[in-house]
């Protein structure tokens, strides 16, 4: 522990503002801001919530004997007074997310799992003549595990604030609570989408280059699933498949992460939020596995179809139920709607309850 | 200026803060005192808009905190030194708070310098000692160069040097015309720092007065006297004589008597007239700390003050400023009147319904005008 210097917490002593003249009273302060004012001076005057009866007197009184309150001077600060907006919150959340190790770890693991498993998959099947699935479909297996890291990060982004008590510091610094949560969601969503997109794009490139020389058997020529996937007798990925396996899959995973963030904001507990999300992702499919018999067939089909894992698999055109020609985007839309609902609930909880 | 009006906060059936009204004025350090669990932190959280009051309101400069356009530029707060992500460096922690209100990054380095954490600015705050954490929390409060500052237990975990630094910092901030509101459960610390005191117990206002008035009214002097061992008759006689002379006599465990309300020479004269020998007659002054303890004791644990009364000879607690305190006919040996706490004479405003002990007036607001 170092010896602290005597705290020079007097605005005039701050390095930077050039004029060393006595600070003007706050009414005149706006015109003399040493920083380019981000808000017009009028806004500053309006923002002064302190009643003007606090007459600015001399700035320094003898320490130890504060005068009567009527004569207390109003502190003139050299810092800019700005109207805060969502941009400030976005910048702050970006600083937050990049300065903790959990972000680096979870996103690195996402890339590692997605690309690594994709690479193993491609290497294992590269000797086969024909694997019987769309060229980029193998990317699903890696991303299935990679998405769990994104989900964990999404939950941690908000629950770590509750766990450490940081949320109170944050909401003291920005009483506009909805703004904080929306900025958090936007920053997390953008970052996880970008990272997942990089991982899925790399995986798709690996698969198209390592598995692209497969010869499609003649009997598959009439398969509607293979429409647009055969070129000169070899399997290719259509541009639609490319978009789905990269942008679509990344959107799906980033949305799942955003859902985890909303769940985290609702539950305010790391372990609770992460296990809830694991349940949402895994349980429908596992439950469906054990549903045998005709009477449960409809429920089983619905559970499989609407399980988030099937949603992701459909993006890769290897759905667990239904046709391989089905588009993955309706299920993505469903996930987006669920996420939007959860986010609205999270904003409502954050803005109306004590923290 | 902070102004609370009828501030009340209930958690289910438990009332943490009840009908709290006070003003914190700029230009001085206002101490916010109370035992643990008295509702200090709850009040602080309500001021900062983190908790919504069940009833009443609190404003800063006439505005509710959550309505302030750029709160950190007007109000800085240290609520809990641990309220930070331990994995983030000190600088990153302050930077993300600064960015939230458009404060330039150079200000972060400034406040790090102010609190003396520049050397560890890039270290993760997880490894910080309690004192370093407090300094980081104070840095966050100073970030916006605010006009109003709130500190909840700022000296927790600080070494003596750090405590003195915090004290000087508070005084300087107040002398610059800022409003400084500091909570603590350490009376001795507040006596050296604060200009004004707001004392709460069990979530209710007990005192709102300048420190000097608090000292004058609450740190009473008393005389301790000892009669010869075994001289029970003389002792009882002396107690009776002193009670008749308007004194309040309290037996102490060591066999000595604690007398208030009678000057030392008068005690000597009375003893002489009653023909009772004295082995000891000495003046004592209750410390400010003791006065505070006595004031808040009833608010901490109601039962302990009741136990004290049984088996003792006189009213166990005398009013503040006991030397001038006129004693009614029930003085001396008579059982204490109900509610004869230090709050007597009874406050003009009746005790609020919470806590639900009818006779318990210890938690009733005690204001300077009550004693005059």
Q: Between A143 and B320, whose confidence is greater?
A: A143
Q: Closest Cα partner for B48 from B61, B60, B36?
A: B60
Residue found by looking up tokens 């370093």 in the block:
B132
CA-CA-CA-CA dihedral for B347, B349, B352, B355, to nearest 10: 0
Residue found by looking up tokens 């997942």 in the block:
A196
Chain B residues in contact with A53 (beta carbon < 8 A): none
Q: Are B285 and B187 in contact (CB under 8 A)?
A: no
**Separation CA B52–CA B8 (nearest Å):** 9
**Separation CA A316–CA A324 (nearest Å):** 9
Mean pLDDT of all residues in B80-96: 93
Q: Between B327 and A125, whose confidence is greater?
A: A125
Q: Residue A168: which of B79, B99, B145 has the nearest Cβ? A: B79
Whether A104 and chain B come into contact, CB under 8 Å, resolves to: no
Mean pLDDT of all residues in B312-332: 41
pLDDT per position as a tens digit, A21-56: 444 444 434 334 344 444 443 433 344 444 433 334
Alpha helices, DSSP H, located in B180-282? 187-193, 211-218, 232-244, 264-274
| Burial (CB count within 10 angstroms: exposed 0-12, middle 13-18, buried 19+), residue A15 | exposed
Q: Residue A47: which of B26, B70, B162 has the nearest Cβ? A: B70
Cα nearest neighbour of A167 on chain B: B83
Q: Are A29 and B145 in contact (CB under 8 A)?
A: no
Q: Closest Cα partner for A140 from A169, A124, A117?
A: A117
Q: Which two tokens stand for residue A69?
A: 């309150």
- Phi/psi of residue B257, nearest 5 degrees: -115, 140
Mean pLDDT of all residues in B141-150: 95
Q: What percent of chain A has pLDDT over 70?
A: 78
Q: Is the pLDDT of residue B99 over 70?
A: yes
Q: Provide the edge-to-edge strand list for the sheet that holds B221-226.
A: B248-251, B257-260, B221-226, B280-285
Alpha-carbon distance values, B201 to A103, A268, B41, B351 (Å): 44, 31, 12, 13
* A307-331: burial string, b at 16+ Cβ within 10 Å, e else: bbbbbbbbbbbbbebeebeeebbeb
**Separation CA B155–CA B134 (nearest Å):** 7
pLDDT at A236: 82
Q: Is the pLDDT of residue B227 over 60?
A: yes
pLDDT at A74: 53
The DSSP output letter for B329 is T
Question: Three-class SS of residue B248?
Answer: strand
* pLDDT band per the 50, 70, 90 thresholds, residue B261: confident
Whether A22 and chain B come into contact, CB under 8 Å, resolves to: no
pLDDT at B213: 82
**Separation CA B134–CA B117 (nearest Å):** 11
Question: Three-class SS of residue B318?
Answer: coil
Domain contains A37 = no
The DSSP output letter for B19 is E
Q: Between B100 and B323, whose confidence is greater?
A: B100
Q: Within 10 Å of residue B57's Cβ, how many Cβ atoms? A: 12
Q: Residue A75: which of B51, B115, B176 has the nearest Cβ? A: B176
pLDDT per position as a tens digit, A274-329: 999 999 999 999 999 888 888 888 999 999 999 999 999 999 999 988 776 778 89
pLDDT at B121: 95
Whether A37 and chain B come into contact, CB under 8 Å, resolves to: no
* Cβ separation B92–A95 shorter than 8 A: yes
Q: Please name every residue paired with B75 in a beta bridge, in sequence order, or none if there are none.
A: B148
Mean pLDDT of all residues in B80-104: 94
Rounded to the nearest angstrom, the minimum Cα separation between A281 and chain B is 28
Q: Determine the distance from the C-alpha atom of residue A190 to the mean position of all C-alpha atoms in its chain, rounded to a whole number.
A: 6
Q: Report the range of poorest mean pLDDT among A101-105, A146-150, B341-345.
A: B341-345
In residues, how long is chain A?
355
Residue found by looking up tokens 């699935």 in the block:
A133
Number of domains in chain A: 1
Domain contains A127 = yes
Alpha-carbon distance values, A262 to A133, A175, A258, A259, B80 (Å): 35, 19, 6, 5, 26
* pLDDT band per the 50, 70, 90 thresholds, residue B307: low
Q: Is the pLDDT of residue A60 over 80?
A: no
- Phi/psi of residue B129, nearest 5 degrees: -75, 170
Mind giving me the DSSP string for B54-71? SEEEEEETTB-GGG-TTG
Q: Regarding the domain delimited by B220-290, which CATH topology (the fold level of the hierarchy) does it fall under?
A: Alpha-Beta Plaits (3.30.70)
Q: Between B298 and B138, whose confidence is greater?
A: B138
pLDDT per position as a tens digit, A236-258: 888 889 999 999 999 999 999 99
Average pLDDT of the residues of chain B: 80
Q: Closest Cα partner for A174 from A100, A85, A262, A95?
A: A85
* pLDDT band per the 50, 70, 90 thresholds, residue A69: very low
Q: Please name every residue paired with B283 in a beta bridge, in sequence order, or none if there are none.
A: B223
* Cβ separation A166–B159 shorter than 8 A: no
Q: Which two tokens stand for residue A105?
A: 């770890």
The DSSP output letter for B178 is -
pLDDT at B286: 64
Q: Is the pLDDT of residue B113 over 80?
A: yes
- Phi/psi of residue B281, nearest 5 degrees: -150, 105
pLDDT at A153: 97
- Phi/psi of residue B63, nearest 5 degrees: -120, 145
Q: Is the pLDDT of residue A351 over 70?
A: yes
Architecture, CATH, for domain B2-217? 3-Layer(aba) Sandwich (3.40)
* A106-117: burial string, b at 16+ Cβ within 10 Å, e else: bbebbbebbbbb
Cα nearest neighbour of B133 on chain A: A1
Whether A75 and chain B come into contact, CB under 8 Å, resolves to: yes
* A256-292: burial string, b at 16+ Cβ within 10 Å, e else: bbbbbbbbbbbbbbbeebbebbeebbeebbeebeeee
Q: Provide the edge-to-edge strand list for the sheet that holds B55-60.
A: B14-24, B2-11, B55-60
Q: Are strands B148-152 and B179-184 parallel, antiparallel or unpaired?
A: parallel
Q: Is the pLDDT of residue B134 over 60?
A: yes
Q: Residue B73: which of A38, A81, A99 has the nearest Cβ? A: A81
Domain contains A264 = yes
pLDDT at B263: 83
| 3-state secondary structure labels for all residues of B96-151 | HHHHHCCCCHHHHHHHHHHCCCHHHCCCEHHHCCHHHHHHHHHHHHHCCCCCEEEE
Q: Report the range of poorest mean pLDDT among A57-71, A274-288, B61-75, B113-127.
A: A57-71
Q: Please name every residue paired with B124 in a beta bridge, in sequence order, or none if there are none.
A: B89
Alpha-carbon distance values, A55 to A191, B74, B309, B355 (Å): 49, 17, 53, 42
Number of A/B CB contacts below 8 angstroms equals 220
Domain contains A9 = no
Range of the structural domain that residue A174 is part of: 87-352
pLDDT at A12: 41
Domain contains A214 = yes
Mean pLDDT of all residues in A195-207: 96
Q: Please name every residue paired with B7 in a beta bridge, in sequence order, or none if there are none.
A: B20
Q: Are strands B55-60 and B75-78 parallel, antiparallel or unpaired?
A: unpaired
Q: Is the pLDDT of residue B155 over 50?
A: yes
Residues 6 or more apart in contact with residue B306 via CB below 8 angstroms: none
**Separation CA A225–CA A324 (nearest Å):** 6
Which A residues, 223 through 252, put their C-beta within 8 Å of a C-beta on chain B?
none
**Separation CA B26–CA A279 (nearest Å):** 54
Domain contains A21 = no
Q: Within 10 Å of residue B363's Cβ, how many Cβ atoms? A: 28
**Separation CA B227–CA B250 (nearest Å):** 13
Average pLDDT of the residues of chain A: 81
Cα nearest neighbour of A54 on chain B: B26
Q: Which two tokens stand for residue A335?
A: 């996930």
Domain contains A230 = yes
pLDDT at A17: 41
Q: What residue ranges do the domains of chain B occupy?
A: 2-217, 220-290
**Separation CA B330–CA B315 (nearest Å):** 9
Q: Which two tokens stand for residue B3?
A: 């102004």
Q: Is 0.90 exceeded by the ipTM?
A: no
Chain B residues in contact with A351 (beta carbon < 8 A): none
* pLDDT band per the 50, 70, 90 thresholds, residue B202: confident
Mean pLDDT of all residues in B281-287: 77
Domain contains A207 = yes
């Amino acid at each position: 522990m170092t010896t602290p210097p005597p705290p020079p917490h007097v605005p005039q002593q701050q390095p930077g503002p050039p004029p060393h003249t006595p600070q003007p009273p706050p009414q005149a302060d706006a015109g003399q801001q040493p920083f380019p004012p981000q808000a017009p001076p009028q806004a500053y005057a309006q923002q002064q919530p302190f009643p003007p009866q606090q007459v600015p007197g001399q700035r320094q009184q003898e320490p130890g004997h504060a005068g009567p309150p009527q004569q207390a001077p109003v502190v003139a600060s050299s810092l800019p007074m700005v109207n805060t907006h969502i941009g400030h919150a976005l910048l702050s959340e970006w600083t937050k997310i990049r300065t903790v190790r959990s972000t680096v770890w979870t996103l690195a693991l996402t890339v590692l799992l997605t690309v690594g498993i994709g690479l193993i998959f491609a290497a294992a099947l590269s000797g086969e003549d024909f694997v019987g699935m769309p060229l980029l479909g193998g990317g699903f297996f890696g991303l299935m595990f990679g998405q769990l890291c994104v989900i964990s990060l999404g939950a941690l982004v908000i629950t770590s604030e509750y766990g450490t008590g940081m949320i109170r510091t944050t909401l003291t610094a920005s009483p506009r609570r909805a703004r904080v949560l929306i900025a958090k969601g936007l920053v997390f969503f953008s970052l996880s989408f970008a990272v997942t997109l990089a991982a899925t794009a790399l995986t798709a490139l690996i698969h198209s280059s390592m598995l692209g020389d497969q010869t499609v058997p003649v009997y598959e020529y009439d398969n509607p699933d293979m429409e647009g996937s055969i070129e000169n007798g070899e399997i290719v990925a259509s541009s639609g498949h490319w978009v789905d396996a990269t942008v679509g899959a990344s959107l799906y995973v980033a949305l799942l992460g955003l859902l985890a963030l909303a769940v985290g904001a609702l539950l305010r507990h790391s372990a609770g939020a992460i296990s809830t999300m694991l349940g949402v992702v895994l349980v429908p499919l596992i439950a469906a596995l054990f549903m045998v018999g005709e009477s449960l067939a409809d429920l089983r089909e619905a559970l499989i179809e609407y399980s988030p894992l099937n949603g992701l698999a459909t993006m890769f055109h290897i759905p667990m139920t239904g046709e391989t020609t089905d588009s993955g985007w309706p299920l993505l839309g469903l996930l987006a709607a669920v996420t939007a609902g959860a986010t609205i609930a999270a904003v409502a909880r954050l803005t109306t309850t004590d923290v | 200026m902070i102004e609370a009006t009828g501030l009340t906060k209930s958690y289910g059936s438990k009332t943490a803060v009840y009908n709290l009204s006070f003003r914190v004025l700029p230009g001085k350090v206002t101490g916010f005192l109370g035992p643990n669990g008295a509702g200090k932190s709850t009040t602080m959280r309500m001021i900062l808009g983190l908790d919504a009051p069940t009833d009443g309101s609190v404003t800063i400069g006439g505005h509710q905190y959550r309505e302030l356009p750029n709160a950190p530029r007007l109000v800085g707060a240290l609520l809990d030194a641990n309220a930070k992500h331990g994995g983030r460096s000190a600088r990153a922690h302050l930077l993300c708070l600064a960015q939230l209100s458009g404060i330039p990054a150079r200000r972060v380095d400034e406040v790090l310098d102010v609190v003396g954490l520049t050397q560890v600015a890039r270290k993760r705050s997880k490894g910080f000692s309690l004192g370093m954490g407090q300094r980081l929390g104070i840095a966050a409060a100073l970030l916006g160069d605010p006009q109003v500052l709130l500190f909840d237990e700022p000296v927790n975990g600080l070494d003596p040097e750090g405590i003195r630094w915090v004290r000087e910092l508070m005084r300087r901030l107040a002398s610059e015309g800022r409003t400084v509101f500091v909570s603590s459960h350490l009376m001795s610390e507040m006596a050296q720092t604060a200009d004004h005191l707001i004392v709460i117990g069990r979530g209710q206002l007990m005192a709102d007065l300048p420190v000097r008035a608090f000292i004058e009214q609450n740190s009473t002097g008393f005389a301790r006297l000892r009669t010869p061992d075994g001289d029970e008759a003389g002792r009882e006689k002396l107690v009776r004589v002193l009670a008749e002379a308007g004194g309040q006599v309290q037996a102490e465990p060591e066999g000595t008597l604690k007398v208030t309300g009678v000057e030392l020479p008068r005690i000597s004269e009375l003893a002489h007239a009653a023909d009772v020998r004295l082995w000891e007659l000495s003046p004592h002054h209750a410390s400010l700390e003791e006065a505070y303890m006595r004031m808040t004791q009833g608010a901490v644990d109601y039962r302990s003050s009741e136990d004290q009364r049984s088996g003792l000879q006189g009213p166990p607690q005398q009013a503040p400023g006991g030397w001038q305190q006129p004693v009614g006919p029930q003085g001396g040996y008579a059982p204490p009147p109900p509610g004869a706490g230090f709050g007597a004479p009874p406050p003009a405003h009746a005790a609020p319904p919470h806590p639900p002990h009818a006779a318990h007036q210890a938690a009733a607001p005690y204001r300077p005008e009550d004693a005059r």
